[in-house]
A and B are shown apart, each in its own frame.
Chain A
């Protein structure tokens, strides 16, 4: 089997997207100059190493080489197998993935790419994230919380013919970022049982509609449960005049108990945060917002609630049918879909972000067709309709089986 020429990238930006695209298209990648200019922390960060381990667990035959300093990675993708008994899966058919304590990213950093791979895997994708580094809340680094991921991103898979009813995301233990934003101690289990041959073509170019309802989760972990009520109260003060159907659930949990290397046990991951999700009257249009208290503390819950409400309003104001957090997932699934033109209405401020432009360039480098952009002329919203041609890659494991 002749391996094709590997694609060359530089920098640590969109590390997971590049690896996911490499796995989906089967092209090897070579990423160099990863934080090579940093004198203190050169090379791959702990969460990136952990993600490479996870990729190795859910694929078969993938190889990766990391240079001595960690600034260069070569990745040869294998087949996406998912959870197959006897290949690293435990007795209840779950791949256990441990995240080290020095991880600073939320668990959605891992969940997002895994959910992109899962529809194309050969078997079900069952992964349990555990260990002293799992942060289920939102983080200051910009990861969304698990609640937002479940309520705002996973329903979007239904638009591609990937039934969300067969996706399960169990939050067995909540956790906020620990001391210095490092580590958590949460437990999250993803069971992704809806594998498809090829995602359907998406046509989401209609009017995004008006906000029908707002839902949300306020979570306090290891701090007073009254914070939930205060966050909800502050958020409702902003949102109540705008929408009549607002429901925010309150969730209080004990802080997770994490065992240290020296056999002692401490409670970490204390904090609180709010996740808000707005559903539009148009099917499949969901906006979300996430704000969490910083690990240093010193913030009152009213501020968090108000900030989150304003962030949600800002995301709604950006318009389009996808928000900034879910745009990458939707666009990638469109690019991997059937060989047909899919259309997506997207806000001008959303497509102008660094991530989306970077994703477009990466997709082009991986051999996908370029996107076509045109202005929406039905109304004066200033949105842009992106036409994405599917690569027709589909599920190789399904093709054989």
Chain B
């Protein structure tokens, strides 16, 4: 506002027209005749009243702004470099020394675990693979490795060129990769109990029967020969279970969910057989045959799932 007032004042007294206003008049005139001039940095209108100051300021601003900073730096000269002294103990606040988690771990009821202890102590104490060491862990690891070797040895045998079991597949290129896939498949089968991904799902029944029979016969022969030669093979159960050649030991009957625990429900009538009656009566003492009741009842009764 002051500048506006000043302007009005200057307009009244035509003699003291300011430099800036004169510039503006010239500029307007020039722009009316030619094209607009590029914008110039406007100087502070408050300083504009003072003629001398305007001169110096304009020249400073246009050339390099650093000096004007230093000029008005007189006001902010007390802004000094902050000095932090780490050597004296006064800067430490004793109450906020530990982080919350660290404090909790330290002040818990357990002895504090030193970070170095777990990392450095087991390293010299446990040489990881010393086959001579008769430790429980190494024995178990060796046992596992042996079982693996036994269960996968037939794959290896079929791929060894000089072997009796060697097949034509052994001479094909990339046979080793196939061996790796088969080994992985075997391990997955033993772990997850899933079917092999190499089994073909849909095929004529006669063909499937033939394949199974051949596989069984080959396995039997392998076992027989191994037995004759005194070679220890893997446990047969793991193979047979997966092949589903043997029927389960006890077929599980499907029971209705609402079937009664005792007797048989037919229509709306609960029929108790003689055996059921004996089982119920014999719960306290002995039944007619002389066996203990509850055990008999439990054995004779079909279990509800």
Q: Which residues of A contact B (CB under 8 A)?
A: 150-151, 154-155, 158-159, 164-165, 167-171, 212, 215, 217, 228-229, 232-233, 236-237, 240-241, 246-251, 279, 281, 283-284
Contact = CB atoms under 8 A, between A and B. Distances in A.
A288 to B, nearest CB: 12
B94 A232 contact: yes
A169 B97 contact: no
Nearest to B104: A249
Interface string B96-135: 0110001100110111111011001100000000000000
A151 B110 contact: no
A232 B102 CA distance: 17
The 5 lowest CB-CB distance pairs between A and B, nearest first, are A154-B111, A232-B94, A170-B109, A247-B98, A164-B111
A155 B121 CA distance: 13
A168 B110 CA distance: 5
B109 A171 contact: yes
Contacts of A228: 94
B12 interface: no
Given A155-B113, A217-B106, A283-B120, 5 more contacts: A164-B110, A168-B110, A171-B109, A247-B97, A249-B97
6 contacts: A169-B109, A169-B111, A229-B95, A246-B97, A247-B103, A283-B117
A212 B115 CA distance: 11
Of the listed residues B103, B107, B110, B117, the one surrounded by the most CB atoms of chain A closer than 10 A to its CB is B110
Nearest to B124: A203
A158 B117 contact: yes
A283 B116 contact: yes
Contacts of A249: 97-98, 103, 106-107
A283 B123 CA distance: 12
Contact of A215 (B94, B95, B110, B112): B112
Contacts of A215: 106, 112
A155 B114 contact: yes
A248 B117 contact: no
Given A215-B106, A283-B121, A250 B92 contact: no
Contacts of A170: 109
B109 A168 contact: yes
A233 B103 contact: no
A229 B121 contact: no
Contacts of B117: 155, 158, 283-284
A165 B113 contact: yes
Contacts of B109: 150, 168-171
B139 to A, nearest CB: 18
Contacts of A250: 94-95
B87 interface: yes
Contacts of A229: 94-95
Contact of B112 (A151, A233, A237, A283): A151
A284 B107 CA distance: 20
Nearest to A248: B97
Contacts of A212: 116
A233 B120 CA distance: 34
Contacts of B120: 283
Nearest to A284: B117
B102 A247 contact: yes
A232 B97 CA distance: 10
Contacts of B102: 247
Given A240-B89, A247-B102, A283-B120, A150 B111 contact: yes
Of the listed residues A241, A249, A251, the one surrounded by the most CB atoms of chain B closer than 10 A to its CB is A249
Contacts of B114: 155, 279, 283
Nearest to B97: A247
A136 to B, nearest CB: 13
A167 B97 contact: no
Contacts of A151: 106, 111-112
Nearest to A158: B117
A151 B102 CA distance: 14
Of the listed residues B87, B102, B116, the one surrounded by the most CB atoms of chain A closer than 10 A to its CB is B116
B92 A236 contact: yes
A167 B154 CA distance: 51
Nearest to B95: A229
A294 B109 CA distance: 26
Nearest to A305: B94
B112 A167 contact: no
B92 A167 contact: no
A240 B106 CA distance: 20
Nearest to A280: B116
Contacts of A158: 117, 121
Given A150-B111, A168-B109, A241 B87 contact: yes
Contacts of B89: 233, 236-237, 240
A147 to B, nearest CB: 9
Contacts of A247: 97-98, 102-103, 106
B84 to A, nearest CB: 15
Given A249-B107, A251-B107, A240 B113 contact: no
Contacts of A237: 89
B247 to A, nearest CB: 44
Contacts of A284: 117, 121
Contacts of A164: 110-111, 113
Contacts of A232: 94, 97
Contacts of B116: 212, 281, 283
A236 B95 CA distance: 12
Nearest to B102: A247
Interface in B231-274: none
Nearest to A149: B111
Contacts of B87: 241
Contacts of A236: 89, 92, 94
B94 A248 contact: yes
A236 B98 CA distance: 14
A155 to B, nearest CB: 5
